Amino acid sequence: MTDTFIPVDADAVVTRYLDAWNASPADRRALVEAVFSPDSYYCDGASEVAGHDGITAMMDGIAERFPGSSFTRASAVDTHHSQARFAWTLTGADGATIVDGIDAMRLAPDGRVTVTLGFFGVTIP
């Protein structure tokens, strides 16, 4: 079996990923293009989208639904091979937790995300 480890800074990828989620609509598209590969696939319990257009529209929809909210990382980034996972929290403008969960992603050699699989209500201790 070939070692498929891709030596990228997963912490930096996750930081940019969360920056895209937390960006203003005017800035989000450029961040999505920097973080996700053009054919990237994203799926969680509420959404299934692909590509820069789909991911941007999905993120814009969450921002509209929860104005003033923000995503933060709630765990270390766990990695192996070309994969990473981490826990996150979506906090409302009032500081209350809206939802938390875990995202697992596959990273391309250039450090961009090719696949994201999200789960709600599961955290990494």
24 burial (CB, 10 Å; 0-12 / 13-18 / 19+) is exposed
Q: Which long-range contacts (CB under 8 A, 24 or more apart) does 65-68 make?
A: 66/90, 66/92, 66/98, 67/93, 68/92, 68/93
Query: Does 7 have pLDDT greater than 80?
Result: no
Query: Does 2 have pLDDT greater than 50?
Result: no
Q: How confident is the model at residue 8 (pLDDT cuts 50, 70, 90)?
A: confident
- Three-class SS of residue 119? strand
Q: Where in the chain are the domains? A: 10-120
CATH number of 10-120: 3.10.450.50
Query: Does 124 have pLDDT greater than 60?
Result: no
Query: Does 42 have pLDDT greater than 80?
Result: yes
Could you read off the pLDDT of 69-118 as tens digits, one per residue? Answer: 999 999 999 998 899 999 999 999 999 999 999 999 999 988 999 999 99
- Count CA atoms closer than 13 A to 117's CA, side-chain side: 5
